[in-house]
Structure 1
Amino acid sequence: MNIKDLEYFKMVFIEKSFSQAALQMHVSQPTITQAIKRLEEEFESELFIRNHSHQELQPTRAGRQLLVHVEQVLLELKLARKELKQLEFGKVRVGLPPIIGNYYLPQIFPALFRSELINKFETTEAGSADLRKQLIHGDLDIALLGSLSPISDQGLKVDLFAQSRFKIVVSEKSPLAQKDTVKFADLQNENFIVLDKGFVHQKALKQISQQVHMRPKIIYSTSDMHILKALVAEGLGIGFLTESAIAATDRIHSLSLEDEEQPIFYMSTAYRQSKLLSADEQSILELLQKEL
């Protein structure tokens, strides 16, 4: 068995055609046919049957089961290539959600300078959902992730380091600035300015909205937390942010939610279970876990 046979099998599964798979893989149809034959002999199972009425191949139950394992094998090989190439790169790629990064980077950077690891430290900023995908696919070595529940993923080694509640933020000139708490349902007539779908915040907003049977009026979404705060400060709408994202110097007022059930923002360090950490990666991970 060779890796190309597995790649050809996956393409046949997708295209449901030997000829179309051959076109996609830039090989001859007999090459594809022979690859499937070798796999069927190897596993002693028929992997495809021809559907004459639709002129296409249909995977058998054995074929569907094999695909699950093939996808995992191909993913692991892709990760192996990336990780071996990364050994030559010499940098430690760390994913930072803007919310967590803005709050914790001032604590992390002095320690990085003192340990002389700053030149090894390369950051990528994105929402936690995007960073988690990059981590799983081998495009990051370590990530700080935000989530609405403690992360449980067999492919990741995860350590929770903090949690915080979500708050409503308003302009200091808003009538709501006279309050310290508010019920979420009382905000149904307010205009919301929110972080976009790459952030955990949008899921948290949906969660609490469903709990109180309310649809918030979202007038603008952004991937930039500073823009969100600036628009809120100007009184153009209200925001929904985790308390760790709110600084004393921001020109906004925050209100705690009175609702008994409300989402919690969990913050964790994570890396792939299959990854053997280099000395620099281990040092940076330990530094993060110590300083956070």
Structure 2
Amino acid sequence: MSPSGHLQDTSVTEAAPESAAGWAALLAPRLAQFAAVARHEHVTRAALELGVPQPTLSRAVARLEADLGVALFTRHGRTLTLTKAGHDLRTAADRALGEVGRAAEAVRADADPSAGKVAFGFLHTMGPETVPELLREFRVDHPGVRFQLVQSYGEWMLDRLREGELDLCLTSPVPDDPDLVGRRLDEQRLRLVVPDDHRLAGRKRVRLAEAAEEAFVTLEPGYGLRRMTDALCAQAGFTPRVAFEGEEAETLRGLVAAGLGVALLPPPAVPRPGVVELTLTGQRAVREIGLAWQAGAVDTPPVAAFKKFLLGRRGRLLNG
């Protein structure tokens, strides 16, 4: 202590950080020590709580004051009292340490084998029936596992895998990027969907080239199904004339039912009135569905269990 009662350190002080992130990196290891001294207002009792020698703790707090360039404590006999700066730092330290503690508990809870969490993404077309049935079957043996469910298109979900925001996703096409792992699970045959009063509606099978002059309703660019539509039409010798673009297959079916165009779509979860779904001949029109995850990711027990379950459904993933 200095004659004024402030903790001092005679070691050389490093240059002050130039950013908030720099201060966080410098101060984070010392905040718990400071908070303990502030809580007890006594170095000896704080050292006992932390299980460190008293001189070590005294030096740590003194170094903290030296780095900040402010006095955090004053001394009254054997008792330490927080200064105004000390009170301000303690408030922030308690809040920060509390957030870290809650985050640590949440991470541990999410990894719990029996009650952890899986962040699971899937295509919109799999939401009405396929995914609910998969979750129902999985939770027969894992009733406590929780799910964060995300519906979107394939490229968006793959980006979320890369960012660590998703653990697993069902997507199409199956990715072959080096930073991701993809496993083919099943496939869906695409059909030409036409209004029930369309000139082709009385047919059961049709070549895609027979729809070359039709207006198409499709998913927006960037969706895997849109790329497949463009590629299949190119194989059939034409470029589709796109009248409407949407984000969900069932919305496209509604547009077809309203007579606004035709569409290439996978089978519906529930048959929709007002449309006829025709089998395509002359070319292979299928959409492969695969499971993807980040390469090198270390699975928590609930994620590992759900991944094993999904891979075990290879060839019988879909309900339609």
Q: How does 1:271-286 map to 2 (within 5 A)?
A: 271-286=293-308
Report SS of the residue matched to 1:159: strand
Residue in structure 1 matching 2:201, options 177, 188, 201: 177
Which residue of 2 is the match for residue 144 of structure 1?
170
Larger radius of gyration: 2
Residues 206-255 of structure 1: CA deviation (Å, up to 9, x unaligned): 1122223312111111102221111212222111112xx42452222111
Residue in structure 2 matching 1:246, options 257, 262, 268: 268
CA apart distance, 1:285: 1.4
Higher helix content, 1 or 2: 1
Distance 1:248 1:124, change over 3 A: closer
Which residue of 2 is the match for residue 191 of structure 1?
215
Residue in structure 1 matching 2:278, options 244, 247, 255: 255
Percent identity reads: 19
CA apart distance, 1:173: 2.4
CA distance in 2, matches of 1:119, 1:197: 35
Q: How does 1:151-166 map to 2 (within 5 A)?
A: 151-166=175-190
Letter in 2 for 1:127: Y
Q: Contact 1:193 / 1:220 at 8 angstroms: preserved in 2?
A: yes
Residue 250 (structure 2) pairs with residue 226 (structure 1):
yes
Q: Contact 1:97 / 1:144 at 8 angstroms: preserved in 2?
A: yes
CA distance in 2, matches of 1:105, 1:168: 24
Report SS of the residue matched to 1:236: coil
CA apart distance, 1:265: 1.1
Q: Contact 1:196 / 1:223 at 8 angstroms: preserved in 2?
A: yes
Which residue of 2 is the match for residue 211 of structure 1?
235
Report SS of the residue matched to 2:176: coil
Report SS of the residue matched to 1:197: coil
Which residue of 2 is the match for residue 132 of structure 1?
158
Q: Contact 1:96 / 1:145 at 8 angstroms: preserved in 2?
A: yes
Distance 1:247 1:125, change over 3 A: closer
Unaligned runs of 5+ in 1: 1-25, 28-83
Distance 1:218 1:273, change over 3 A: same
C-alpha RMSD of the superposition: 2.6
Q: Contact 1:112 / 1:118 at 8 angstroms: preserved in 2?
A: no
Report SS of the residue matched to 2:216: strand
Letter in 1 for 2:118: V
Report SS of the residue matched to 2:312: helix
CA distance in 1, matches of 2:281, 2:142: 46
Report SS of the residue matched to 1:163: strand
Which residue of 2 is the match for residue 87 of structure 1?
107
Report SS of the residue matched to 1:276: coil
Q: Contact 1:130 / 1:198 at 8 angstroms: preserved in 2?
A: no
CA distance in 2, matches of 1:98, 1:241: 12
CA distance in 2, matches of 1:188, 1:154: 37
Q: Contact 1:109 / 1:118 at 8 angstroms: preserved in 2?
A: no
Residues 43-79 of structure 1: CA deviation (Å, up to 9, x unaligned): xxxxxxxxxxxxxxxxxxxxxxxxxxxxxxxxxxxxx
CA distance in 1, matches of 2:161, 2:235: 32
Residues 5-64 of structure 1: CA deviation (Å, up to 9, x unaligned): xxxxxxxxxxxxxxxxxxxxx88xxxxxxxxxxxxxxxxxxxxxxxxxxxxxxxxxxxxx
CA distance in 2, matches of 1:210, 1:85: 53
Which residue of 2 is the match for residue 287 of structure 1?
309
